[in-house]
Structure 1
Amino acid sequence: MMTLIAIFFPCISFLLRGKILTSLLCLILQLTLIGWLPAAIWAVISLQNSRADRRNARLIKAMRNR
């Protein structure tokens, strides 16, 4: 679900994750017709990196509690 939002509404994807300034910059980029595609790619990559960071944090926590 969040990936589709990142593709079709890149600035909202950043806003929903609490990155207000990044969302504003993405919106400015998205307003240009040429900039929409890079904004969508940026949002999807950022979303994937965020998911990987959360996964790694859970793994590190599990290893420390072991």
Structure 2
Amino acid sequence: MPAIVGPVKINSVGGGVVNFGDTFYASPKSTDKTASGSGSFNTGDFINTNSGVSSTNPVDPDLFDQLISGNT
């Protein structure tokens, strides 16, 4: 059954996905991968992170995690 969506006003978009109405198939248009150690994305004033011994392994044995080829 089709969905009826009324007037929509979007002032700004900073990222993310918005679906209106019926969605049969949603596929990603871009992908990204980040390898970082513990406490690396902390933001703010006077950050004190005690993580002891930390190790991050950025090696990924599979070449593709999520294919986006063919998505338009």
Q: TM-score, normalised by structure 1?
A: 0.22
The answer to which structure, 1 or 2, has the higher relative contact order (CA under 8 A, 6+ apart) is 2
Q: TM-score, normalised by structure 2?
A: 0.21
Say which one has the larger Rg: 2
